[in-house]
Amino acid sequence: MADQPAPDFNILFLSMTNAVKKIQDATAELNAAAVQLNIAAVEMYKMKKLADEIKSIKEAMVKLAQNNDCQINRVETNDIARIHNSKTRLQLKPLAGPSGDPADNFPATHKQLLALNEEAVNNLAANLGLNPEGTFQEKRDALYAYVGVQS
């Protein structure tokens, strides 16, 4: 073993310095990649949040379109009922309330409508989505006009 040459510490030092430099360069590249990965993760989060907002807006638009369809159907139904009610003195055609369904406690005949007391007028108006102001006579007249009946 005594025959082995002595190590050249200058070569070892240069080799170690070169290895440390390569490790530092690799670490810098890894750090840069980590920064890019973090930036990409933030962008993906923003894109997901935006996609969620778009989905929410689409759902709201569908709901609004359905509500518009319901309102259009209600208006058409009520227009037909008003025309019918304005031409008859017998069987009334019920108007639809805000839900689109026929209003609760809608009088069956012209005579029953004219006989409603103040509480019944207020209840029927509420069932139709109305909130008339004024005296009993003014509320009743507003209800009659809405239903399509002349007093």
What letters, b where the CB count within 10 A reaches 16 and e where it falls short, cover 105-132? Answer: ebbeebeebeebeeebbbebbebbebeb
| Three-state SS letters, 79-107 | HHHHHHHHHCCCECCCCECCCCCECCCCC
Query: What three-state secondary structure class fits 109?
Result: strand
pLDDT at 2 (0 to 100):
62
Q: What is the pLDDT along the chain (151 residues), one digit of tens a residue?
A: 567 888 888 888 899 999 999 999 999 999 999 999 999 999 999 999 999 999 999 999 999 999 999 889 989 988 999 999 888 777 999 999 988 899 989 999 989 999 999 999 999 999 999 988 899 999 999 999 999 988 6
What is the predicted pLDDT for the residue at 1? 55
**pLDDT given at position 139:** 94
Q: Given this model, what pLDDT does residue 8 score?
A: 85
pTM to 2 decimal places: 0.59
